[in-house]
Structure 1
Amino acid sequence: MKRSGAAGKRTEVDADAGSLADDVFDKVVIKGPLSDMWRLTLWANCYCEPIFAAMAQEYDVGRDEFNVLSCLASYGSMVAKNICDVTGRPKNSISRAVNSLIARKMIRRKTNAHDRRESLLMLNDSGRRLYEKVLPVAVDRQTLMLRVLNAQERAMLDGILDKMMSTRHEW
């Protein structure tokens, strides 16, 4: 294996590393016993991580803050437990996001008079405006990641995902 000291030049070591990575990818992700898990995880990571990085950098909105904003903007007022149930995120992560958004005056909390342990979360106008700013970041990435599918394939994917999600309570 030959190494080159010149910056920017591809070396045999680099080529071998790329070849090795492709071989590992094939054996683990494509042909491994957990290929479905690996392919879904890899796709989700490549889909979500750039979205959340851009939102954090451009709008100071983290993953869980976006989850809270998205749930409240799409559905309306709800308790934090519902957001945890929908997103699959831990209570402590959603709680931190809720507290951050309250401090930033993006959402407000109304304590349940019958059960003071429970609070209804509501989106403020400023929270809706923030959500409307960050949403295109996610929509654009979704469009990029799914553009390889034609209309029939996209409909098939939607059907498969819907079917899989219909059993989420059994997980």
Structure 2
Amino acid sequence: MTAGKTTLRLDDFLPYRLSVASNRVSSAIATAYQALFGLRIAEWRLIAVIAEGQGMTQQALGAATRMDKVTVSRAAIALVDRGLVARQPNAQDQRSHLLSLTAAGQDLYESVAPKALELEARIFGGFSPKELAAFRAVLDRLEASAAALDPE
């Protein structure tokens, strides 16, 4: 290494480490959701967000989940095709539809949510309540810091 020259070491680069950790957690969860409920992560995220705020546009879902519009669209189509989500006209914007859970979608949500909480408990079981509180606080600060750099 030349004097004054900075070298990027990927294993020490925090954004990379965060991405790897996130991918590992997502992969473990995705495997369980697919095996138990036939859901992809994007589909589950839409179901969970819709369950929290009935009647959402795809644009609002994209903003809430930080997923791109193609991923949101594909997941929404899959959920509508499975009868888990219904599309309704949006009275406030004729160009968009509101997505809401059907009775089957609500039933699925009520089945998946406890499993999601169980997986979270297994993943974070080795952390103390104090460590989890600190981790959540760091995540909040990290998201706010990254949001300040994000042009969206």
TM-score (norm 1): 0.74
Is this contact kept in 2: 1:47–1:142, CA < 8 A? no
CA distance in structure 1 between the aligned counterparts of 2:128 and 2:40, rounded to whole angstroms: 32
Unpaired stretches in structure 1, ≥5 consecutive residues: 1-26
The residue that corresponds to 1:65 in the other structure is 43
The residue that corresponds to 2:30 in the other structure is 52
Q: Quote the sequence identity (%).
A: 24
Stretches of 4+ aligned residues off by more than 4 angstroms: none
The residue that corresponds to 1:125 in the other structure is 103
Residue range with higher mean Cα deviation, 106-115 or 83-92: 106-115
RMSD across aligned positions (CA): 1.8
Shift of 1:71: 0.3
Shift of 1:80: 0.9
Is this contact kept in 2: 1:108–1:121, CA < 8 A? yes
Query: Structure 2 counterpart of 1:98, which letter?
Result: A
The residue that corresponds to 2:5 in the other structure is none
Is this contact kept in 2: 1:51–1:137, CA < 8 A? no
Is this contact kept in 2: 1:69–1:131, CA < 8 A? yes
CA distance in structure 2 between the aligned counterparts of 1:38 and 1:168, rounded to whole angstroms: 14
TM alignment of 1:73-152, pairs within 5 A: 73-152=51-130
Shift of 1:78: 1.0
Query: Structure 2 counterpart of 1:101, which letter?
Result: L
Shift of 1:76: 2.3
- Rate the CA distance shift 1:51–1:72 in 2: closer, same or farther, 3 A: same
Query: Structure 2 counterpart of 1:134, which letter?
Result: V
- Rate the CA distance shift 1:41–1:114 in 2: closer, same or farther, 3 A: closer
Shift of 1:105: 1.4
The residue that corresponds to 1:8 in the other structure is none
Shift of 1:91: 0.6
The residue that corresponds to 2:21 in the other structure is 43
Shift of 1:38: 2.5
Shift of 1:127: 0.4
Shift of 1:167: 4.3
Aligned partner of residue 166 in structure 1, secondary structure: helix
